[in-house]
Structure 1
Amino acid sequence: MTDIDTARDDAGDGLAWAQGRGKGALAERMGIEFVEFAAERCVATMPVEGNTQPVGLLHGGAYVVLGESLGSMAANMHAGPGRLAVGVDINATHTRSATSGIVTGTCIPLHLGRSMTVHEIVVTDEQGRRCSTIRITNMIKDAPAAS
């Protein structure tokens, strides 16, 4: 069992587990912050500034990075010790453009199985308006043996 798995088992605190696991270099660079993390709901924020297209709109790929960060982390938490969740499909529908402030991604599970998870992430602007809807499917497999 890794230190991260032990922290998850001992504390039962999903946010501490997510913070202990780390967001990854891309999520760090984009300013993603986890604010709530549990099996039934995960929430993260991301600034618009620094993540825009040349015309000043939040880049569509930034929405997807926020969605994948939430959905993959949630799937890995569900997978449990000794297992690993890896993305196999992601799609996004952008319905509004954020131009300033922060956006908030809220991730909920649609399916939590033994070998597959599906999560939906709704990204809203500061006024609570839906900007993007992302769905990610992750496959769960045994983690590679430590060498």
Structure 2
Amino acid sequence: MPDTSSVVGSVSYIPTPGVSGLAANVSNPDGIGIPKTAKNPAAAAKFIEWFTSAQNQADFAGASGASKVMAGYFLPSRLSGLAKLTSAGGLTDGAELTALLKTSKPVFPKGAPVWYPQFSNSVYTNLHAAATGSMTVDAAIKAIAATANSLSAQ
């Protein structure tokens, strides 16, 4: 929310640089899906529809005031939610960010590979350990590499 930030007006969005010019942006919203083993897939689908609606996405990020903010939900994952947040004045330079995200592409266009959850867990667990000092940076990088090597051998 702009009224609580000390850097409003001091930072701006820039296009993602690439090897030979601008590259596609990665918004990196969390994927939401329904497991094959779900006991009530229809209810799960309704929840996803509700959760990903443009208005709820904007509200969770502060478009309608602090009372509807979801802690840790900083930015709508849909352009329609981002547009609502921007038009409500809840996102400084939101028009620029929206324009950049229109060129975004998924990291995994066909969905995350089966190995990704284990790799991702290794990355965030080891980076967190290094950041908190319970593991050296060198050890964290080696642990992540070991996981990657193990998964690539499967």
TM-score bin, normalised by smaller chain: under 0.3
Taking structure 1 as the reference length, the TM-score comes to 0.24
Q: Which has the higher helix share?
A: 2
Q: Which has the higher strand share?
A: 1
Taking structure 2 as the reference length, the TM-score comes to 0.24
